[in-house]
Amino acid sequence: MERVRVLVVDDSALVRKLLSTMLSCDPGIEVVGTAADPLIAREKIKQLNPDVLTLDVEMPRMDGITFLENLMRLRPMPVVMVSSLTQEGAEVTLRALELGAVDFFTKPGNDLASTFAEGAQEICHKVKLAALARPRQRTAVRKLDVPPRLSADAVLPRAQSAGTRGGMPIIAIGASTGGTEAIRVVLEAMPPDAPPIIVTQHIPAAFSGPFAARMDHCSAMRVCEARDGQPIQQGHVYIAPGSQHLLVMWDGAKYVCRLHNGPPVNRHKPSVDVLFRSMAASVGKATVAALLTGMGDDGARGLLELHQAGARTLVQDEESSVVWGMPGVAWKLGAASEKLPLDQIAARLLALAHQPVSRAAVPAA
């Protein structure tokens, strides 16, 4: 199997060395070169023809965002942004994802010795998956320990039955790589009085608040980062915080958001499987769910549980996905009734939500 060829672009010599060492931990990755600024990177891309670029945000002579915009226009390729965990860093990184970056990696903190293994595992995973992505236009140092992969059972047992309690349809959306842009496309097309929408996007804690604020600016609906116990209302969008699982529960009178600080599920926190499972149990066939672009398979089994509970389910098609991982697995499992391009998903979600739903309980197979 050919190794993924990576070019590391960062103005800090220390960060270039650190990232190169981290990436070299994986025998499936080869660091073919480094560059201190975008102008040097431009020449090295021509010379080395890398598969993936890691790109810093703040650099001399040309900032990373300007370079990314030019790169995606002239030579689209998979890019993983390297960002700081700050409010400003979050805003810039979200802008980079809008421009076509596949994913992002947050720079390790001050205690590099204790965070090295975890950081190396994360950046290697992101780079290898990025190499499989289709970017849209506009030798091992040591073996990495892989944490155990947990299912949604680690957070919420699967219910034996599902039913419609609130008489209100609720839309659920799950996404990962490429999802920040896909979610924007869906939310921009929603009217202000649309049914409530619950969103789980794989994103770090420092980024989910700015992401929710950005979506609130571009959508006619009210968009917020979900809070524990928050009532779920029509015309509102609730986005899972980056550090907690988001569940939908019936409190006896209304649907509410519940945050859960359990372990990562499918190595993600928040996890789409957790959201979908909670809705299969509490909302049942009144759920309308979509699984959008993303690496891996988180959400695929949860979508199947929703489908078996009588919910209306669909996935984004391969052609419009940055990576057809999560929706592709769901489609192969038979978890979705429909497969649609991104620009048709909002209208279809609305149409399905407006269809009458029987309130009879449905066994959770």
Q: Are strands 312-316 and 52-56 parallel, antiparallel or unpaired?
A: unpaired
- Phi, psi (5° rounding) for residue 118? -65, -45
Q: Which of 10, 26, 103, 298 is catalytic?
A: 298
Which residues have C-beta within 8 Å of that of residue 198, sequence separation ≥ 6?
Answer: 170, 171, 172, 173, 226, 232, 237, 238, 240, 246, 248, 257, 275, 279
E strands along the chain, which residues? 4-9, 29-35, 52-56, 79-83, 103-106, 161-162, 170-175, 197-201, 222-225, 236-239, 245-250, 255-260, 287-291, 312-316, 338-340, 362-363
Distance CA 76, CA 36 (A): 20
In the block, which residue shows the tokens 């690496």? Answer: 295
Q: Which of 202, 236, 260, 307 is catalytic?
A: 202
Q: Which of 24, 83, 176, 282 is catalytic?
A: 176
**Joined tokens for residue 322:** 């940055």
Distance CA 286, CA 181 (A): 26
Spatial contact of 320 and 205, defined as CB atoms under 8 Å apart:
no
Name residue 172's amino acid: A
| 12 tagged catalytic | no
| 20 tagged catalytic | no
Distance CA 33, CA 208 (A): 33
Host H or E run for residue 62: none
State the sign of the Cα–Cα–Cα–Cα dihedral 262, 266, 270, 272.
Answer: negative
Side-chain half-sphere exposure of 77, counting CA atoms within 13 A: 21
| 176 tagged catalytic | yes
Q: Could you tell me which residues are beta bridge partners of residue 238?
A: 198, 224
What residues are labeled active site? 176, 202, 298
